[in-house]
């Protein structure tokens, strides 16, 4: 099959591309290599993907360029789209909400239109656990109400889920929305907590800790996320939403302890107030994904953090 993977030069996208290429599929990556973090990191990742045996093509372009996205779909017969490209992160979205709306919502419309007008019937689209907002019920289930987003980023992901349902209902596209829960592992973005903390602890600099360390996240190893993405691409649904998480929470204080143990150094804590848009907990109910996708996360945090640290130490600049 020939897959279009948007955001394929990024953290999760590159792992998905690697899996597809090793499986003998053709992969076209669309990515704008924006400076949210150093584009050189993504270029090195693309070199790694090119080195794999397989049919691989990279197109550097912005999803908001509707005419280019339309041209790409007209000129290439894709069997399926895995749409992972987005402006990511809760805190950065607070500073640039209009940018997040343009890239995440308008960009997704361009991808959906390209598929609709050119006979691509199946799309797997990345959503986020942030859509649950401050959810009093844990673990979070796909059937929970999700109308109380507390960040522009979360609001854009809610909009994408609504668009996916609309394109299924009106145009008959088969669409799977995947709500990712705090993904980590090799190639993780340098702005994310685990990577940022590892860098600061290694150099003896303070790490910013927002709150008292009791906030908890459902940290999910990237290999498990890829398994869920591939399963969603291989199974047939009309429109479905799935949580992809580890279904086990880890507090910020516990995460720091895991990093200290793996790095062999103590962290210097810079205690700061909680930030707007942050939620106290994320916790995935993955029973639906287990039942319908065969999703079965295998990498616990005690194993995943040392794997990440091993990659981090080999790839430090």
Closest to 56 in 3D by CA, of 46, 64, 71? 46
pLDDT of residue 49: 96
In the chain, DSSP assigns E strands to 2-6, 26-31, 56-60, 80-83, 122-128, 174-180, 183-184, 206-210, 216-217, 220-221, 239-244, 250-251, 268-272
Please list the residues that pair with 81 across neighbouring strands: 4, 123
- How far, in Å, CA of 269 to CA of 69, rounded? 45
Catalytic positions, written as ranges: 153
Coil, helix or strand at residue 117: helix
- How far, in Å, CA of 106 to CA of 101, rounded? 7
Name the stretches of the chain with pLDDT < 70.
Answer: 317
Give the pTM. 0.95
- How far, in Å, CA of 53 to CA of 169, rounded? 38
pLDDT of residue 242: 98
Which domains does the chain possess? 2-181+221-245+284-298 (3.40.50.720)
Closest to 176 in 3D by CA, of 99, 107, 229, 120? 229
Task: For the chain, give the percent of residues with pLDDT over 90.
Answer: 88
Question: 239 burial class (0-12, 13-18, 19+ CB within 10 angstroms)?
Answer: middle
2-6 vs 26-31, strand pairing mode? parallel
pLDDT of residue 127: 98
Q: What is the pLDDT of residues 237-260, one digit of tens each?
A: 999 999 999 999 999 999 999 999
pLDDT of residue 317: 67
């Amino acid at each position: 099959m020939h897959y279009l993977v948007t955001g394929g030069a990024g953290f999760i996208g590159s792992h998905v591309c690697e899996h597809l290429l090793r499986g003998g599929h053709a992969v076209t990556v669309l990515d704008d290599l924006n400076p949210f973090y150093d584009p050189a990191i993504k270029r090195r990742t693309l070199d790694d993907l090119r080195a794999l045996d397989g049919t691989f093509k990279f197109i550097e372009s912005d999803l908001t360029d509707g005419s280019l996205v339309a041209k790409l779909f007209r000129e290439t017969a894709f069997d399926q789209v895995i749409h992972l490209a987005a402006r990511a992160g809760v805190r950065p979205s607070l500073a640039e909400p209009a940018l997040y709306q343009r890239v995440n919502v308008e960009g997704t419309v361009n991808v959906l239109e390209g598929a609709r007008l050119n006979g691509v019937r199946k799309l797997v689209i990345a959503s986020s656990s942030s859509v649950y907002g401050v959810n009093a019920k844990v673990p979070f289930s796909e059937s929970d109400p999700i109308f109380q987003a507390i960040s522009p980023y979360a609001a854009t992901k809610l909009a994408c889920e609504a668009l996916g349902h609309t394109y299924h209902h009106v145009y008959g596209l088969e669409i799977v929305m995947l709500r990712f829960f705090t993904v980590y592992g090799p190639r993780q973005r340098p702005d994310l907590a685990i990577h940022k903390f590892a860098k600061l602890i290694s150099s003896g600099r303070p790490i910013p800790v927002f709150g008292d360390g009791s906030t908890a996240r459902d940290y999910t190893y990237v290999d498990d996320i890829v398994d869920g993405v591939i399963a969603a691409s291989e199974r047939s649904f009309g429109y479905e939403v799935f949580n992809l998480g580890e279904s086990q929470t880890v507090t910020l204080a516990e995460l720091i302890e895991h990093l200290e143990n793996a790095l062999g150094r103590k962290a210097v804590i810079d205690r700061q107030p909680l930030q707007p848009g942050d939620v106290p907990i994320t916790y995935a109910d993955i029973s639906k994904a287990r039942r319908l996708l065969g999703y079965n996360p295998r990498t616990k945090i005690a194993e995943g953090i040392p794997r990440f640290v091993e990659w981090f130490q080999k790839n430090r600049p």
